[in-house]
Chain A
Amino acid sequence: MEMLANLSLGFSVALSPFTLALAVAGCFLGTIIGALPGLGPSNGVAILIPLTFTMGLDATSALVLMTAVYYGAMYGGRISSILLNIPGDEPALMTTLDGYPMAKQGRAGDALVLSGVASFVGAFLATIGLMLLAPMLARVAYLFGPAEYFALYLLAFCTLGGMASNNQAKAALASCIGLGIAMIGVDSSSGLPRLTGGNLHLYDGIDFLVAIVGLFAIAEVFFFIESHGKGSSIGVKLDKVRIPWKDIMATKWTMLRASFVGFIAGILPGAGASLGSFLAYMSEKSIAGEKGGFGTGVAKGVAAPEAGNNSAAGGALVPMLTLGVPGSGTTAVLLALLMTLNITPGPTLFTERPEVVWGLIASLLIANVVLLLMNVPMVKIFVKILMVPAWVLLPGVTMISFVGIYSLSGSYFDLLLMVGFGVLGYILRKLEIPTVPVILGILLGGNMEDALRRAMVLSDGDAMFLFSTPIAIGLWIAAIAGFVAPMFLRGVLKKPQAVTD
């Protein structure tokens, strides 16, 4: 009952006609920002923080607006993933794998609505989890030391092999390219530059957003030029938008499982939404097996990563609110917002400032419901983008890419780098090497290396330290199973695959 009392306190703080209007505006803005290549939830929130001051909003209204933008951007990231095969932000990466094939089959509307519902389920369950368990779950962060983090990242990489269904070696090669790129920059343990060739711009390392936009958006432009504008893969078929009840019902368990996996990944500081959507997708893929047809445009392949990344976004709020340790880039920005409002998250926040915590939780719930209600009408608008001919759409996407990347760092060098990644993406796709593992290598490689090196310092270089706790051992077993299992299961699963579809 205390929970309900707290929640009503939260709603009494967060619910008013004005804040509802803010939530609607925030959701809409967030969706647009999330959909644009290069601008993700972190940038969206960061860009709009000054706005809350200019508008003179009080703490609660600012929180409602920012959480609406945050969730809106998480929703929006899927739109360009599905329609254009260009992830709007890094957690939406996995949604391209099945969302875009689905759109090519003429089911763009279905994919968008389904992913919207999956996003809602993931975010809603995560908010409930945050509400019920946050103070308790905060302890989970205490269980993860360098050895555990290393094993967790290893698990992500070991399941990569199973991702490219036709050729594991190519997926492994691609992730090695990504890991190699992650090495570039100032070494975090010693402060010395590595692989920079003396170029100061490379001291910062390579931003994965530059890589994503280059590998996806710019590479697409090269393909378009090559084909002289004919037969570009952008042109997907269009049908009427209706609610795909059948798909939604068929994926309900997928959404539940993916939300759980995503939430856990979100709770771990530093893992974040990308790892959440990745692990959710890979675990659903292995549950479905080869029969599931993941990667060919199946409903589960859209529902899993979307439920996963949105619930990871909610999970990431747990360590942020209870420890002051942000679980993802976006919560880092939200943490920053709280601190400008003179609220310091930490172990005492839940008891000292209940109106802030429960106000935040209430605004998350509000943003969620608003987004679900806005979802179907907005899908109709977004599907209309497909009616724009490719020769208009692609230059437009290119322009947004350039502007988006330039806004990250204000650096001309990043634009060159992005074009370089475009060329790399073009070559890789010509060789039929998947580009998603490259991005994951860049995204997770640095964290994985830091974890390993910290573990080595603590253990005086004793490798056995990596297997020293039950959690680490469990993750190692899962990682090895994830790496080896596809090799053996392939033979077993081949026959049924021939019968299905």
Chain B
Amino acid sequence: MTKRFFKALMTGAVLSVGVTGGAYAAECIAPANPGGGWDFTCRQIGKIMYDIGVVDQPVQVTNMAGAGGGLAYNHVVAERGSDEDLIVAASTATSTRLAQNAYAGMTADQVRFVGAIGADPGVIVVAADSPYQSLNDLVDAIKADPGSVAFAGGSAVGGFDHIKPLMILQRAGFTDIKKVKYIGVDGGADAITQTVGGFTQAMTGDMSEVVGFLKAGEVRVIAVLTEERIPGFEDIPTAKEQGLDVVAVNWRGLYVPKDIPDAKFDEWAGKLQQVADSDEWKEAMVANGLAPFTKVGGDFQSYVDGLVAEINTMSKELGVIQ
């Protein structure tokens, strides 16, 4: 009896571990905690890929939070370099950090960027009871006393969420950007919690991260960083129409390990294109305040290379890196 039970215990252990190994199912790593943008990318794209039948097993999502995506990037580069069944959620934030050498010496050419199929507009958010009614109110307050406003965001110091308010301030003629306070927390939801709680005065993040809180009336979006107002959120003014011409969108896409065959790379690019064309994805974009933005395959790789170079130059101007 006992031995038999013990055997059963062992079998159970081995079986359950076998499922984790995921020899057949594709895995999508979301390099942040659940609830943020990367997590959304993995879950939506993974689910739609399975629903429309481009993968035959459900895509398994792994959350690997830390160092603003640096931990996951390192994991892929160091340990999964030729894993053909691995996709990783990426965004503008990924390219920002690579451009700023924020992944501890790792560079953009250590993985292959396979495609982006949507962009999440950047937003600047304050608590519903905040005295700041417009972006200019906030900018004026910082100009008068840089210490009076602290931003919270889901990316590490120097990351894209940090850069967004700095770009705005630079346009407004405020150049002493080292005085601007910013704390990086684990994800956009956490950043909003800190802002609604009054520990920080403003939150910098993406539209998809604030929709729920916006509907609940907890926060006020004082600026969206796009060319035009977003469909469905027409009452939110752009930064541009408030005289501060900053456009900062966060594309949602994927990268894959560097050493996979070209054929496999093209296969993933094709799958991503199919997701982009699906009705399910169009619905998901509307529900989450995403704007269409489709670039896949080699096209996207060159876009990312350009972006990395551009952010690198800009970061030097901003003084974030040497």
Q: Name A's B-contacting residues (CB within 8 A).
A: 29, 32-33, 36, 39, 43-44, 46-51, 53-54, 141-146, 185-193, 200-201, 203-205, 269-270, 323-326, 332-333, 335-336, 339-340, 342, 344-349, 381, 384-385, 387-388, 392-393, 396, 399-400, 403-404, 406-407, 409-411, 454, 457-458, 460
Contacts and interface: CB of A to CB of B under 8 A. Distances in A.
Nearest to A456: B183
Interface of B is mostly: helix
B79 A411 contact: yes
Contacts of A201: 78
Q: Which of A44, A324, A454 has the most CB of B within 10 A?
A: A324
Contact of B182 (A141, A193, A457): A457
A193 to B, nearest CB: 5
B261 interface: no
B306 interface: no
Interface in B247-270: none
Contact of B21 (A48, A339, A407): A407
Contacts of A409: 79
A380 B184 CA distance: 49
Contacts, number: 190
10 contacts: A36-B9, A39-B13, A146-B183, A192-B104, A203-B70, A204-B74, A332-B34, A335-B34, A346-B211, A348-B215
B36 to A, nearest CB: 9
B43 A336 contact: yes
Contacts of B185: 454
B314 interface: no
Contact of A200 (B34, B78, B194): B78
Contacts of A142: 193, 196-198
Contacts of B2: 384-385, 387-388
B212 A47 contact: no
Which range holds the interface residue count of chain B?
35 or more
Contact of B216 (A29, A339, A346, A460): A346
B33 A53 contact: no
A403 B15 CA distance: 11
Given A192-B104, A347-B218, A384 B156 contact: no
Contacts of A269: 190, 193
A336 B40 CA distance: 9
A57 to B, nearest CB: 12
B180 to A, nearest CB: 11
A343 to B, nearest CB: 11
Interface in B194-215: 194, 196-200, 211-213, 215
Contact of A186 (B25, B104, B197): B104
Contact of A336 (B14, B63, B103, B186): B63
A32 B10 contact: no
B16 interface: yes
A393 B213 CA distance: 52
B27 to A, nearest CB: 10
Given A32-B12, A142-B196, A204 B75 contact: yes
Contact of A340 (B61, B79, B184, B200): B61
A458 B200 contact: yes
A333 B34 contact: yes
Given A141-B193, A205-B71, A339-B35, 4 more contacts: A146-B183, A188-B184, A189-B156, A404-B17
B144 interface: no
Contacts of B5: 381, 384-385
Contact of B19 (A47, A143, A144, A325): A47
B34 A326 contact: yes
B39 interface: yes
A323 B193 contact: yes
B67 A388 contact: no
B19 A339 contact: no
Interface string B198-242: 111000000000011101101000000000000000000000000
B295 interface: no
A388 B2 CA distance: 7
A341 B2 CA distance: 40
Nearest to B210: A346
B58 A144 contact: no
B284 to A, nearest CB: 8
B20 interface: yes
A384 B266 CA distance: 55
A47 B16 contact: yes
A393 to B, nearest CB: 8
B216 A347 contact: yes
A29 B74 CA distance: 33
B213 A336 contact: no
Contacts of B67: 186-188, 191
A339 B150 CA distance: 30
The 5 closest A-B pairs by CB, nearest first: A346-B212, A347-B216, A145-B199, A142-B197, A53-B58
Contacts of A190: 156-157
A189 B6 CA distance: 46
B147 interface: yes
B213 A346 contact: yes
Contact of B47 (A50, A335, A340): A340
B214 to A, nearest CB: 9
A146 B186 CA distance: 13
A332 B63 contact: yes
Nearest to B102: A191
B321 to A, nearest CB: 12
Nearest to B72: A204
Contacts of A43: 20
A348 B193 contact: no
Given A324-B35, A411-B79, A344 B212 contact: yes
Q: Which of A185, A190, A325, A335 has the most CB of B within 10 A?
A: A325
A44 to B, nearest CB: 8
A32 to B, nearest CB: 5
A177 B61 CA distance: 33
B66 interface: yes
Contacts of B300: none
Nearest to B159: A191
A407 B20 contact: yes
Nearest to A399: B10
Given A53-B50, A204-B66, A385 B78 contact: no
